[in-house]
Copies of this chain bind each other. A is one copy, B any other.
Amino acid sequence: MKRENRQNDKAALAVEKLKNIGLRATPQRVAILAFLEGNTSHPSAEQIYEALKSEMPSLSLGTVYNTLDELVQRGELQELAISPTRKHVDPNPDPHYHFLCEGCGRIYDFPGTLHTEEIEEATKGFRVQKYAVYLYGICPACNQEDSDRSSSWCAS
C-alpha cells in the first residue's frame, strides 16, 4: 500500500515534469522517469530497460535511449562517461563528483564543487560551461572484502 502510493507519487511527479519540459507524457517516459526519481544507482540505458521490462514488456531499448537523450538535452538529468564502456545517467542534474568502484562497478555520488577560479588564469579566454569529476578506486564494501580475503589468506 505504502509502496504503491510512493510509486503513484513518482508517476505523478514524472507526468508533471514531462509536461513542464514540453514532452508528451507517454507511459514509457513516465515509467522511466518514475524509475529514476530518487534513484542513486546511476543506471545505464540497458539497466533501466531490464528493470522496467517486466512491468512494461513492450518497452524497447531504443525508446529508453531516446527518452534519456531528451531528458539530458532538457537538463533533467546528466550523462556520466565514468565507465569506459557504457554511459550511465544521474537523475540529479546538479554538479557533483562521481566515484566508480573498480571492484564492483557501483557508482557513488560525492559532494564536491570544482572551483574553476582556481585555474582561472589558465582558463582565461575559455568559457567553461560544464564539467565532470570522476574518481576511481575501491569502495568500502569491496575494501572490506579485500581485507577479509587477505586475513583468511594469512590464516591458512
A-side residues, CB < 8 A to B, are 79, 81-82, 84, 87, 97, 99, 102, 108, 110-112, 114, 116, 118-119, 122-123, 125-140, 143
Contact = CB atoms under 8 A, between A and B. Distances in A.
Contact of A128 (B82, B118, B135): B135
Contacts of A126: 99, 108, 135, 137-140, 143
13 contacts: A79-B84, A99-B123, A102-B129, A110-B119, A110-B123, A126-B135, A128-B135, A128-B136, A129-B136, A129-B138, A131-B136, A132-B136, A134-B134
Give the copy number: 2
Nearest to A79: B84
B129 A119 contact: no
Given A112-B119, A112-B122, A127-B138, 5 more contacts: A99-B128, A111-B119, A126-B137, A128-B135, A130-B136
Contacts of A116: 135
